Structure 1
Amino acid sequence: MGLFDKMFRSERDVAKEEIERIPWVNITEQQDIEDLKKRSFEKPVVIFKYSTRCGISRITLRKFENDLPENLDVDFYFMDLVKYRSLSNEIAESFKVRHESPQLIVLKEAKVQHHSSHQDINAKQLPDYI
């Protein structure tokens, strides 16, 4: 891909490529939040909230995916909080965590086991929370 292709691609197109390393389930509607709460009773759930307008989000997501230990038995949920800001606010309110971006939230039995943001997001520590 040439320099001009990179310059004129949308941030959303760049983000789509970056989120393909993990089988993320996109959070796009209220029902997705209810579903992940229920799912968290079966296995841990990881929510990654991401801003398509933020370079730090892009860097943090790339590092998270590259550092993620293999064979974790968790479900991964991804939220584009620019496009779905009201759902992001719902997650913050529902789980009693401050809205941040980028943000990682780990749930078990619909309760927050861990949450972090920005440079504190560390995939290598994920096994400690699940």
Structure 2
Amino acid sequence: MKGDKLIAITKITTSEDFKRIKEANNQFLLFKNSTTCPISAQAFEEFQKFSEGVSEDVYYLNVQESRPLSTEIADSYGVKHQSPQALVFNENEVVWNDSHWRITNTSLSDAAKKYLK
């Protein structure tokens, strides 16, 4: 909890979910992970640690459960699909993304400080 606001990690599964997030937030961080990959499991732990230190809600999707949305994001934003993958959206573009072992609490925090104002 930061101030009076409970920070949420919100799971999204559909294009409609993603559209609502974009309409409600000019900037946000999205984490994509695989439910069967050990690298994704480690990256998700780092994502959870990161979420404890931010004042914004953060979002994630499981690729196996939401493959159409994951593909839509990759195609719409010109960012090669990877899993795990973290993306920072600003308006209608991805301004930062990273994947695999490079997703750490530190890398996410650095990206948030730089891109989420």
Q: Shorter-normalised TM-score: what interval?
A: 0.7 to 0.9
Match of 2:18 in 1: 33
C-alpha displacement of 1:86:
1.1
> Structure 1: which 4+ aligned runs deviate by more than 6 Å?
none
Is 1:24 the equivalent of 2:6? no
Structure 1: tracts of 5 or more residues without a match: 1-21
Match of 2:34 in 1: 51
**2:49 match: secondary structure:** helix
Partner of 2:60: 78
Give the letter for the 1:127 counterpart: K
Q: How many residues align?
A: 106
The corresponding residue for 1:17 is none
**Conservation of the 8 A alpha-carbon contact between 1:40 and 1:110:** no
Deviations 1:60-115 (A, max 9, x none): 11123224572x34331110101111111011111111100000010111221111
The answer on whether the counterparts of 1:65 and 1:123 sit within 8 Å (CA) in structure 2 is no
Alignment of 1:92-107 (within 5 A): 92-107=74-89
User: For structure 2, which runs of at least 5 residues remain unmatched after alignment?
Assistant: 1-6
Structure whose alpha-carbon radius of gyration is higher: 1
Letter matched to residue 70 of structure 2: S
Identity %: 32
Correspondence for 2:114: 128
TM-score between both structures, scaled by the size of structure 1: 0.72
Q: Which moved more, 1:97-106 or 1:23-32?
A: 23-32
